[in-house]
Amino acid sequence: MPRVSQDQLEARRQEILAAARACFARYGYEGATVRRLEDATGLSRGAIFHHFRDKDSLFLAVAEDDAVEMAATVAQHGLVQVMRELVQRASDPESAGWLGTQLEVARRLRTDPEFAKRWAAHDEAITKATRQRLERQATAGALRDDIPLGVLTNFLELAYDGMVKRLAMGGSADDFGPVLDLIEETVRRRGHSKTE
Protein backbone atom coordinates (compact mmCIF):
# COMPACT_ATOMS: atom_id res chain seq x y z
CA MET A 1 0.00 0.00 0.00
CA PRO A 2 1.54 3.34 -1.03
CA ARG A 3 2.29 5.83 1.69
CA VAL A 4 0.29 9.07 1.63
CA SER A 5 2.25 12.25 2.31
CA GLN A 6 1.16 14.89 4.79
CA ASP A 7 0.66 17.29 1.87
CA GLN A 8 -1.69 14.81 0.19
CA LEU A 9 -3.62 14.33 3.43
CA GLU A 10 -3.95 18.10 3.86
CA ALA A 11 -5.03 18.53 0.24
CA ARG A 12 -7.71 15.87 0.73
CA ARG A 13 -8.83 17.53 3.96
CA GLN A 14 -9.20 20.88 2.17
CA GLU A 15 -11.20 19.23 -0.63
CA ILE A 16 -13.53 17.69 1.95
CA LEU A 17 -13.94 21.06 3.70
CA ALA A 18 -14.78 22.85 0.44
CA ALA A 19 -17.36 20.25 -0.60
CA ALA A 20 -18.84 20.09 2.92
CA ARG A 21 -19.11 23.90 3.04
CA ALA A 22 -21.25 23.82 -0.11
CA CYS A 23 -23.33 20.94 1.25
CA PHE A 24 -23.97 22.63 4.61
CA ALA A 25 -24.83 25.86 2.80
CA ARG A 26 -27.31 24.14 0.52
CA TYR A 27 -29.02 21.82 3.01
CA GLY A 28 -28.26 23.28 6.44
CA TYR A 29 -26.61 21.28 9.19
CA GLU A 30 -29.44 18.79 9.67
CA GLY A 31 -30.12 18.39 5.97
CA ALA A 32 -26.47 17.73 5.16
CA THR A 33 -26.82 14.03 5.80
CA VAL A 34 -23.83 11.73 5.63
CA ARG A 35 -25.17 10.49 2.30
CA ARG A 36 -25.28 14.04 0.95
CA LEU A 37 -21.80 14.69 2.28
CA GLU A 38 -20.61 11.55 0.47
CA ASP A 39 -22.22 12.78 -2.76
CA ALA A 40 -20.78 16.27 -2.35
CA THR A 41 -17.24 15.08 -1.63
CA GLY A 42 -17.26 12.05 -3.91
CA LEU A 43 -15.86 10.05 -0.99
CA SER A 44 -17.15 7.32 1.27
CA ARG A 45 -18.10 8.05 4.85
CA GLY A 46 -14.98 6.17 5.94
CA ALA A 47 -12.78 8.47 3.87
CA ILE A 48 -14.56 11.59 5.16
CA PHE A 49 -14.50 10.51 8.78
CA HIS A 50 -10.88 9.45 8.53
CA HIS A 51 -10.16 13.19 8.53
CA PHE A 52 -13.01 14.31 10.81
CA ARG A 53 -14.41 12.45 13.82
CA ASP A 54 -18.07 13.03 12.88
CA LYS A 55 -20.41 15.42 11.08
CA ASP A 56 -20.30 17.90 13.95
CA SER A 57 -16.49 17.98 13.84
CA LEU A 58 -16.64 18.47 10.08
CA PHE A 59 -19.04 21.38 10.39
CA LEU A 60 -16.96 22.94 13.15
CA ALA A 61 -13.83 22.63 10.99
CA VAL A 62 -15.62 24.38 8.09
CA ALA A 63 -16.81 27.15 10.39
CA GLU A 64 -13.40 27.48 12.05
CA ASP A 65 -11.65 27.80 8.68
CA ASP A 66 -14.09 30.56 7.75
CA ALA A 67 -13.55 32.30 11.11
CA VAL A 68 -9.77 32.21 10.69
CA GLU A 69 -10.07 33.64 7.18
CA MET A 70 -12.47 36.30 8.43
CA ALA A 71 -10.21 37.31 11.35
CA ALA A 72 -7.21 37.58 9.01
CA THR A 73 -9.15 39.77 6.60
CA VAL A 74 -10.41 41.95 9.45
CA ALA A 75 -6.89 42.35 10.83
CA GLN A 76 -5.49 43.41 7.48
CA HIS A 77 -8.36 45.25 5.77
CA GLY A 78 -11.18 45.73 8.31
CA LEU A 79 -14.65 44.34 8.88
CA VAL A 80 -16.16 46.34 6.04
CA GLN A 81 -13.88 44.43 3.65
CA VAL A 82 -15.26 41.18 5.07
CA MET A 83 -18.74 42.53 4.33
CA ARG A 84 -17.70 43.44 0.78
CA GLU A 85 -16.34 39.94 0.24
CA LEU A 86 -19.52 38.45 1.69
CA VAL A 87 -21.62 40.44 -0.78
CA GLN A 88 -19.35 39.38 -3.63
CA ARG A 89 -19.50 35.73 -2.59
CA ALA A 90 -23.26 35.84 -2.10
CA SER A 91 -23.71 36.76 -5.76
CA ASP A 92 -21.37 33.98 -6.92
CA PRO A 93 -22.91 30.49 -6.67
CA GLU A 94 -19.43 28.92 -6.60
CA SER A 95 -18.45 30.71 -3.37
CA ALA A 96 -21.81 31.35 -1.72
CA GLY A 97 -21.19 28.50 0.74
CA TRP A 98 -19.51 30.93 3.10
CA LEU A 99 -22.83 32.72 3.70
CA GLY A 100 -24.51 29.40 4.41
CA THR A 101 -21.86 28.57 6.97
CA GLN A 102 -22.39 31.94 8.68
CA LEU A 103 -26.12 31.30 8.83
CA GLU A 104 -25.65 27.83 10.29
CA VAL A 105 -23.24 29.19 12.89
CA ALA A 106 -25.81 31.84 13.87
CA ARG A 107 -28.57 29.23 14.11
CA ARG A 108 -26.47 26.84 16.17
CA LEU A 109 -25.40 29.63 18.50
CA ARG A 110 -29.08 30.12 19.33
CA THR A 111 -30.01 26.46 19.59
CA ASP A 112 -26.92 24.52 20.73
CA PRO A 113 -25.34 25.65 24.04
CA GLU A 114 -22.35 23.31 23.62
CA PHE A 115 -21.62 24.71 20.18
CA ALA A 116 -21.96 28.25 21.56
CA LYS A 117 -19.35 27.49 24.24
CA ARG A 118 -16.92 26.06 21.71
CA TRP A 119 -17.54 28.95 19.30
CA ALA A 120 -16.95 31.74 21.83
CA ALA A 121 -13.18 31.80 21.22
CA HIS A 122 -13.65 32.22 17.46
CA ASP A 123 -16.14 35.00 17.95
CA GLU A 124 -13.78 36.75 20.35
CA ALA A 125 -10.90 36.46 17.84
CA ILE A 126 -12.98 38.31 15.23
CA THR A 127 -14.01 40.98 17.75
CA LYS A 128 -10.38 41.36 18.87
CA ALA A 129 -9.16 41.69 15.28
CA THR A 130 -11.83 44.34 14.62
CA ARG A 131 -10.91 46.25 17.77
CA GLN A 132 -7.16 46.11 17.00
CA ARG A 133 -7.73 47.29 13.44
CA LEU A 134 -9.80 50.22 14.73
CA GLU A 135 -7.12 51.04 17.31
CA ARG A 136 -4.47 51.18 14.55
CA GLN A 137 -6.74 53.41 12.48
CA ALA A 138 -7.38 55.67 15.49
CA THR A 139 -3.64 55.96 16.16
CA ALA A 140 -3.12 56.90 12.51
CA GLY A 141 -5.74 59.64 12.90
CA ALA A 142 -8.02 58.11 10.28
CA LEU A 143 -10.85 57.20 12.65
CA ARG A 144 -13.38 59.56 14.18
CA ASP A 145 -12.51 60.30 17.77
CA ASP A 146 -15.90 61.39 19.12
CA ILE A 147 -17.20 57.83 19.56
CA PRO A 148 -15.53 55.18 21.78
CA LEU A 149 -13.84 52.31 19.95
CA GLY A 150 -16.08 49.79 21.70
CA VAL A 151 -19.15 51.48 20.25
CA LEU A 152 -17.60 51.52 16.75
CA THR A 153 -16.71 47.84 17.11
CA ASN A 154 -20.29 46.99 18.10
CA PHE A 155 -21.63 49.13 15.26
CA LEU A 156 -19.55 47.27 12.68
CA GLU A 157 -20.45 43.86 14.11
CA LEU A 158 -24.15 44.73 14.09
CA ALA A 159 -23.86 45.93 10.50
CA TYR A 160 -22.21 42.62 9.59
CA ASP A 161 -24.89 40.57 11.37
CA GLY A 162 -27.63 42.60 9.65
CA MET A 163 -26.02 42.05 6.27
CA VAL A 164 -25.86 38.29 6.83
CA LYS A 165 -29.56 38.30 7.77
CA ARG A 166 -30.54 40.42 4.77
CA LEU A 167 -28.59 38.25 2.35
CA ALA A 168 -30.14 35.14 3.91
CA MET A 169 -33.58 36.60 3.23
CA GLY A 170 -32.70 36.96 -0.44
CA GLY A 171 -31.58 40.59 -0.42
CA SER A 172 -29.84 41.69 -3.58
CA ALA A 173 -26.08 41.98 -3.29
CA ASP A 174 -26.31 44.98 -5.65
CA ASP A 175 -27.98 47.04 -2.90
CA PHE A 176 -25.05 46.80 -0.48
CA GLY A 177 -22.24 48.74 -2.20
CA PRO A 178 -23.57 52.19 -1.26
CA VAL A 179 -24.48 50.97 2.23
CA LEU A 180 -20.94 49.69 2.82
CA ASP A 181 -19.56 53.02 1.57
CA LEU A 182 -21.81 54.77 4.10
CA ILE A 183 -20.61 52.49 6.91
CA GLU A 184 -17.00 53.32 6.07
CA GLU A 185 -17.73 57.02 5.93
CA THR A 186 -19.49 56.80 9.29
CA VAL A 187 -16.46 55.45 11.15
CA ARG A 188 -13.69 57.46 9.55
CA ARG A 189 -12.57 60.97 10.31
CA ARG A 190 -13.62 63.49 7.71
CA GLY A 191 -11.04 63.95 5.00
CA HIS A 192 -9.58 60.43 5.30
CA SER A 193 -10.04 57.63 2.84
CA LYS A 194 -10.77 53.97 3.64
CA THR A 195 -10.20 53.15 7.26
CA GLU A 196 -11.86 50.16 8.27
Q: Assign residue 83 the CATH number of its domain.
A: 1.10.357.10
For the full predicted model, state whether its pTM sits above 0.85. Answer: no
Overall number of domains in the chain: 1
128 in a domain, yes or no?
A: yes
167 in a domain, yes or no?
A: yes
5 in a domain, yes or no?
A: no
53-64 pLDDT, tens digit per residue, is 999 999 999 999
What region does 141 belong to: left with phi over 0, alpha with psi -120 to 50, or beta? left
- Looking at residue 195, what is its pLDDT? 47
What average pLDDT score do residues 155-180 get?
86
125 in a domain, yes or no?
A: yes
Average pLDDT for the chain: 87
* Residue 90 domain boundaries: 55-187
Residue 8: pLDDT over 90 = no
Confidence of residue 177 (pLDDT cuts 50, 70, 90): confident
Residue 90: pLDDT over 80 = no
- Looking at residue 113, what is its pLDDT? 92
42 in a domain, yes or no?
A: no
- Looking at residue 103, what is its pLDDT? 83
158 in a domain, yes or no?
A: yes
What average pLDDT score do residues 148-157 get?
93
111 in a domain, yes or no?
A: yes
28-46 pLDDT, tens digit per residue, is 888 999 999 999 999 999 9
138 in a domain, yes or no?
A: yes
